[in-house]
Amino acid sequence: MHRSTFVAAVLVVAFGIAACDSEPAQRKAFIEFLQTRVVGKPGVHVPKPAAEQAATFGPYAKHYEVITAFHAGLDEVVSKPLQRAIEAAPRSLDQLGPRRKEIAEIRGGMAGIRAAIDKHLAAADAAHGALKQPDDLKPVYDAAYDRVVTQPAKAFAEIFPDVDEATKTILTLAEFLDRHGDKIKVNGSMLQVADPSLQPQLQTLINALRAKQEAVQKAQQRLRSIVSGT
């Protein structure tokens, strides 16, 4: 064997031994991080470790990227559009007309938001399932994954139908008021109905809107409960 070949072989073996020696320490550092910074705190916490700390995780830093990548995508294509949809809901009847176009555009994007939830969760689940983890790391990582990926995704998926139905009901009421604008006058939160025959249908629409708004509020409370851990 040539000397250069022999030296190279020794270096490869030495590097492999060093890598094996460092793995327990890297795994321990990653487990401690997950336990103290993610699982051990109430609510949803996805802290970004400093570069120096991430380096102590060794190859397990890639495992944490599965979680951070999911949250980056969720925030951009789900959290922000869904929050915009909730904020666009009119607070009084006289806001129905001015916000009608905006509400219609938001409702048109609801299907895209739901698809984005499914897409990002499926990608995260696939990456999670492909991870090879030692027996002491796996339960800790699985607990962290459930806390900050599975549960928030489930909560978003549950709030989606309520927001979609609420925007649909708002648009139906807005269209009704527009269609009968000569007989129904909106004054703040009050309605003046000149044609009594319209009152039953109008009241049905208002009751439906109130019910959907209550459903959205309950869904929001559940989402906040998951995020805050209360």
Average pLDDT, the chain: 82
Asked if residue 72 lies in contact with residue 46, where contact means CB atoms within 8 angstroms, the answer is no
Average pLDDT, stretch 97-124?
A: 82
Report the Cα 50 to chain-centroid distance in Å: 24
Q: Which of 53-57, 86-90, 92-96, 178-182 has the lowest mean pLDDT?
A: 86-90
pLDDT at 88: 67
Is 133's pLDDT higher than 80?
yes
At 174-218, the pLDDT tens digits run: 888 888 888 888 877 778 888 889 999 999 998 988 888 888 788
Both tokens assigned to 57: 């995780």
Higher-confidence residue: 71 or 79?
Answer: 71
pLDDT of residue 114: 82
pLDDT recorded at residue 149: 94
Q: Stretch 100-127: mean pLDDT, rounded? A: 85
**pLDDT given for residue 219 in this prediction:** 75
Rounded-to-10 torsion of CA 198, 201, 207, 210: -80
Given pLDDT bands bounded at 50, 70 and 90, which one contains residue 21?
A: low
- As given in the structure block, the two tokens for residue 47 are 């802290």
Burial of 68: CB neighbours in 10 Å, binned 0-12, 13-18, 19+: middle
pTM equals 0.77
What phi, psi does 73 have (nearest 5°)?
Answer: -70, -40
Higher pLDDT, 11 or 82: 82
The pLDDT of residue 158 is: 81
pLDDT greater than 80 at residue 15: no
Structure confidence at residue 6 (pLDDT):
43
Higher pLDDT pick, 9 / 149: 149
pLDDT digits (tens, 9 = 90+) for 146-180: 999 999 888 888 887 888 888 888 889 888 888 88
Judge whether residue 20 has pLDDT over 70: no
